[in-house]
Amino acid sequence: EDQVTQSPEALRLQEGESSSLNCSYTVSGLRGLFWYRQDPGKGPEFLFTLYSAGEEKEKERLKATLTKKESFLHITAPKPEDSATYLCAVQAMNSGGYQKVTFGTGTKLQVIP
Amino acid sequence: GAGVSQTPSNKVTEKGKYVELRCDPISGHTALYWYRQSLGQGPEFLIYFQGTGAADDSGLPNDRFFAVRPEGSVSTLKIQRTERGDSAVYLCASSLKGVAGRYNEQFFGPGTRLTVL
């Protein structure tokens, strides 16, 4: 069974204090790993897609990396507006030949001014 | 352009009742997904449509849950004989199917908060 584990569950940072969020996964037939941001009361908002080990993507203060077992979301010099829950999801082919999406439980990030 | 919309935004019902939740995907998106999200959890996959057909319904918890997408656009999630445990936020997402076996990002709607009393 596909599994996605995110750590830490919650993270509190001072503004400007860089850190990393982890997403470890166990899946066969990975088709893509996705990072989303979710604000309270809203649906997840797409950030990045990574398809193969060694791939990296960047957007403003965020950088996502991928290995064969885990992905990191690096946050450089965060600002209070970066406060949100960050979700990781993997998409893979299941035994029936259909693609399936599995989300982690998320990391709740709070950035203090 | 318009994003994914879901109606209603909130639904309160009594145990045993039938409910329908609607999703309007982004125009032109062939893939549509339904998820259920409980407080403090990530979205839980329910069903995936490619066009009009349900390509993967392995996430539906039991036969009280059913979803349709008759014309390949709007989708309705139907829940019969609702139970208190069905209370959650139901999210819909749509995407374009990618090329070379890859899948594109999903665009999510704001969700429908279902409360079963």
Note whether A105 contacts B55, CB cutoff 8 Å.
no
Q: Answer positive or negative: Cα dihedral of B110, B84, B22, B36.
A: positive
Beta strands in chain B (DSSP E): 5-7, 10-13, 19-24, 31-37, 44-50, 53-56, 65-68, 75-79, 88-95, 107-108, 112-116
Structural tokens at position B88: 């959650």
A54 at B interface, C-beta within 8 A? no
How far, in whole angstroms, is CA A106 from its chain's centroid? Answer: 8
B48 at A interface, C-beta within 8 A? yes
CB nearest B105 (choices: A6, A31, A46):
A46
**Dihedral in degrees, nearest 10, Cα atoms B8, A35, B46, A31:** 140
Tens-binned pLDDT, residue by residue, of chain A (113 aa): 789 999 999 999 999 999 999 999 998 888 889 999 999 999 999 999 999 999 999 999 999 999 999 999 999 999 999 999 999 999 887 666 667 789 999 999 999 99
Query: Tens of pLDDT along B76-103?
Result: 999 999 999 999 999 999 988 765 556 6
- Per-position b or e across A10-27, b if 16+ CB within 10 A of its CB: ebebeeeeebebebbbeb
B41 at A interface, C-beta within 8 A? yes
How many angstroms separate the first and last alpha carbons of chain A?
41
Residues shown for chain A:
113
Query: Tens of pLDDT along B9-40?
Result: 999 999 999 999 999 999 999 889 999 999 98
**Which contacts qualify for B44-52: CB closer than 8 Å, 24 or more apart?**
B44/A103, B45/A100, B45/A101, B45/A102, B45/A103, B46/B77, B47/B77, B48/A98, B48/A99, B48/A100, B48/A101, B49/B75, B50/B97
